[in-house]
Structure 1
Amino acid sequence: MQVSRRKFIQLSALAGAGALLSPALAACGTSDDESTSSTASVNTSVATSLKTNGNLEKTTLRVGYLPITDASPLLLAHATGAYEKNGLQVEKPTLMRSWNTVAEAFQSKQVDIVHLLMPMAIWLRFSKNFPLKLVAWDHMDGSALTVKDHINSVAELAGTTVAIPYWYSIHNVVLQMLLRKEGLQAITLGEPSVSGKTVKLVVLPPPDMPVALSNDSISGYIVADPFNAVAEVNNIGKVLRFTGDVWYKHACCVAVMHEEDVVNNPNFTQAAVTSIAEAQLFAANNKVEAARLLSKDGGNYLPQPLKAIEYAMTHYDHSEYVPSGAITHPEWDNQRIGFQPFPFPSYTQELIKSLRETIVEGDNSFLDNLNPLTAHQDLVNDNFAKTAIEKLGGTEKFNIPEDYTRTEIISV
């Protein structure tokens, strides 16, 4: 199918199309010794500081984001005044067009906090030795595998090309789980074939995906909303499976800050995390209003139409998605997207194990000797999320276990 120039422009506008990814992230040039932290002692000292000194070490917070609903807490904290309430001065968050751009801006310290794909944060920390700290989950679920209307099963993806947002992403992990179940092999080079049971994976910036689907460049894409909703409301594709229906309440994007801020500016860091947690509570309880604030009708943070954003925040209709197979676990208490800040250790550990089974471009040998338990301790500081949760009413408010533990549930 050929797409007219007018239709292409319309779809580009709806999706918020951006520039292509740069070839690779710049190496940060940080040595192992410089980037390795004494996690236990750092976390303890931070917790002590938070209890004894409430003054912010600095007040200006620079926020960067990709225009997806995953970024909602970072954006709604600005829209609702949560940052200001917690003593922070925040200019309007800076919109970026690709994951490479977000990561490069963070590495070069143009911004203080961003949301990153959690596997990407793992890659930056342990492959590139970049000194970052994961301080909170940004959201749960909120992604899907969207395909052309004539495709009714994962098996029918054989011999086609599917887009992912980044090699190190939960999207790539879940997609390859689905492919393996059907006996399909993901490839990164060459042409896919039905007889060979191969599916070619390509990286595309999320804003480019709906256009690529509509002009038949790809058969599907797996990505965060609202780009799945964009396809649905514009009748250019359908959701084949929600990722949260494969991995129960998984993290996708996480909030990361510079390790030096976490260590040297704990009250500044706490103010940022508390603001995010407040925004998560707002989003969880006011999804329609949250969609409006994110859209051009509100704060103009996301370029997509309000209809698509609201659809992405609210539409998880069992009567529609269970018969189609997009939801296979109606008994799970899922929503299309959920919000809570605590970074569960069990998820980090299971994610690292799953990444080892996931095909990516480039060298992923850093995963071979990465201990999932100690990796979580090095990557994550959960004191800030816990403090925010307790300040805002406790675990019950966020619908998470009181003991901050859970068992990962994966059902392909």
Structure 2
Amino acid sequence: MGVFDDPFDPKARPWSCPCGRHASFAAHAAALACETVTDPEPRGAEALADRIVETAVTRAVFGTEARRRAFVGLVGRAAAAAALGAVFPLGRAKEAFAETPRRIEKRDLKVGFIPITCATPIIMAHPMGFYARHGLNVEVIRTAGWAVIRDRAINREYDAAHMLSPMPLAITLGAGSAPIPWTMPAVENINGQAITLAMRHRDRRDPKDWRGFRFAVPFDFSMHNYLLRYYVAEAGLDPDRDIQIRAVPPPEMVANLRADNIDGFLGPDPFNQRAVYDGVGFIHLLTKDLWDGHPCCAFAISREMIREAPGTYHALLRAIVEATAYSSNPANRREVAAAIAPQNYLNQPQTVVEQVLTGSFADGLGRVQRVPNRIDFDPFPWHSMAIWILTQMKRWGQIRGDIDYAQIAEQVFLATDTAQAMRELGLSPPATAKRTHVIMGRAFDPADPEGYLASFAIRRG
């Protein structure tokens, strides 16, 4: 065949198979019909938008779907995009597509939440109009516990949900439920948790003295569980043998402390502060003192929902990111506290919620503390945070075997989508999705999760 012969022209002379697996070019081209199935699924709305633009341009250039498929099959989708980009401004086309208002496929949405301050952006976006500003009519629904949140989200009773940041990873991996592709496009809050002990333990502040203690955490797949385990293990206690850890819904933690069913809990606010307010407990330490900037709760949504309604997903993500940015401003915290304290949301005294959000609070030991970043709000879902969570899931036997930490982090924590939404709202996302984190004075390098995991003397996996 001459160099100027058109392999897509049926009148051209027969052409050999370029991959070596077929008898002719025609057979090779026919096999490309499965391309849309075998192509890797775009990971998030931005990747999906890029692919739409690339596909539209290649179809326009080659005229027919068969020619487009054949060309892409010859050189690969990435090479095809690069070749076309040399003669067509693909980058500008993608930018123009991103700037075009997206069609919102579904405006009426149900989003489940647990009544805790970690859900502040999801909750306050309702009374303060952030959802409406992005063209959505969202009903935020108080939910009893994390297993209920998970099950209702999986059953599509909720379109999206407030989840603990490890939950989308667990759902995707099939830990605690059937494996279903789930995503976490945005972190809801960072910090914002505490270890609260019963007043009778005010003289037992050293975790080495906690052998036999009974602790509550909100859920097995939670930062609360992993941070409590980390903390006592660093003190030499085995969290599965030397103490008891049970899952208790956050709204029930103070009552269990009062009834002497537990000695303490590592839980979300406002319940740490409510224990102080009710005089039944004191704040032993804030989790920011274990890992400053750690993730806690998240905005989570199924990959199926993103695929079915990308415009709705994009509008919802923008509303959440904008509400998160508003909540992060200390000047807005009292206003936000007033919005989320009422009965249909947190159902807590506004004073309690203000103490949490402003960081000026009584600790139950006779002191007033001022910690402005007791809780903070940052939507960016660092892949390195996901990798750390996966090491702890493996450390305590929740997942087993070899896993591709980086790939799972990328599939579930949709940093690219969040970065795009942040830029569209005039915010500045990080340039990379991985960084080193320091937990209890020890650096965690996301490039070496197995080495980090092997460094712990106390572990199950």
TM range (shorter): 0.7 to 0.9
- State the Cα deviation string for residues 44-84 of structure 1 (Å, max 9, x = none): 22456661552212212211100001111111111111111
Offset, 1:157: 1.8
Task: Assess if the C-alpha contact under 8 Å between 1:55 and 1:267 holds in 2.
Answer: yes
2:280 and 2:158 map into 1 onto residues whose CA distance is 35
Structure 2 residue 157 is the aligned partner of structure 1 residue 110 = yes
Aligned pairs (5 A) from 1:129-144: 129-144=179-194
Based on CA coordinates, which of the two structures has the bigger radius of gyration?
2
Task: Assess if the C-alpha contact under 8 Å between 1:56 and 1:267 holds in 2.
Answer: yes
Of 45, 48, 53, which residue of structure 2 is paired with 1:45?
Answer: 48
* Aligned AA (2:229): Q
Task: Assess if the C-alpha contact under 8 Å between 2:112 and 2:143 holds in 1.
Answer: yes
2:207 and 2:160 map into 1 onto residues whose CA distance is 36
Q: Which residue of 1 aligns with 2:412?
A: 379
Offset, 1:321: 10
Of 216, 220, 236, which residue of structure 2 is paired with 1:183?
Answer: 236
- Stretches of structure 2 lacking an aligned partner (at least 5 in a row): 1-36, 53-96, 442-461
Structure 2 residue 196 is the aligned partner of structure 1 residue 161 = no
1:41 and 1:300 map into 2 onto residues whose CA distance is 32
Task: Assess if the C-alpha contact under 8 Å between 1:316 and 1:335 holds in 2.
Answer: no
Offset, 1:41: 8.5
1:316 and 1:310 map into 2 onto residues whose CA distance is 8
- State the Cα deviation string for residues 350-395 of structure 1 (Å, max 9, x = none): 1111222236xxxx2x343222101112213233311221122222
Specify whether residues 129 and 236 from structure 1 end up closer, same or farther in structure 2 by C-alpha distance, changes over 3 A only. same
- Stretches of structure 1 lacking an aligned partner (at least 5 in a row): 1-33, 193-197
Q: Which residue of 1 aligns with 2:347?
A: 303
Identity of aligned residues (%): 26
* Aligned AA (1:344): W
Offset, 1:131: 2.5
Q: What number of residue pairs does the alignment pair up?
A: 351
**1:102 partner SS:** helix
Q: Which residue of 2 aligns with 1:81?
A: 129
Specify which structure has the bigger relative contact order, considering alpha-carbon pairs within 8 angstroms and separated by 6 or more residues.
1
**1:217 partner SS:** coil
1:264 and 1:74 map into 2 onto residues whose CA distance is 22
* Aligned AA (2:122): L
1:245 and 1:119 map into 2 onto residues whose CA distance is 20
Structure 2 residue 401 is the aligned partner of structure 1 residue 343 = no
1:85 and 1:250 map into 2 onto residues whose CA distance is 30
2:148 and 2:48 map into 1 onto residues whose CA distance is 33
Offset, 1:345: 0.9
Aligned pairs (5 A) from 1:13-412: 38-40=41-43, 44-47=47-50, 51=98, 52=100, 54-91=102-139, 93-127=140-174, 128-149=178-199, 150=202, 151-187=204-240, 198-285=242-329, 286-296=332-342, 300-315=344-359, 335-358=373-396, 364=398, 366-395=399-428, 401-411=430-440
Specify whether residues 346 and 316 from structure 1 end up closer, same or farther in structure 2 by C-alpha distance, changes over 3 A only. farther
- State the Cα deviation string for residues 190-230 of structure 1 (Å, max 9, x = none): xx7xxxxx111111111111111112111100111111010
Offset, 1:406: 2.9
Offset, 1:40: 4.7
* Aligned AA (2:266): I
Q: Report the RMSD for the aligned CA atoms in angstroms.
A: 2.8
Task: Assess if the C-alpha contact under 8 Å between 1:141 and 1:337 holds in 2.
Answer: yes
**2:109 partner SS:** coil
1:213 and 1:129 map into 2 onto residues whose CA distance is 35
* Aligned AA (2:376): G
Offset, 1:287: 0.9
* Aligned AA (1:357): R
Which one is further off, 139-148 or 306-315? Answer: 306-315
Task: Assess if the C-alpha contact under 8 Å between 2:190 and 2:377 holds in 1.
Answer: yes
**1:90 partner SS:** strand
Task: Assess if the C-alpha contact under 8 Å between 2:112 and 2:162 holds in 1.
Answer: yes
1:45 and 1:145 map into 2 onto residues whose CA distance is 42
2:310 and 2:49 map into 1 onto residues whose CA distance is 6
Structure 1 segments, 4+ long, off by >6 Å, are 319-324
Specify whether residues 37 and 304 from structure 1 end up closer, same or farther in structure 2 by C-alpha distance, changes over 3 A only. farther
**1:185 partner SS:** coil
Q: TM-score w.r.t. structure 2 length?
A: 0.70
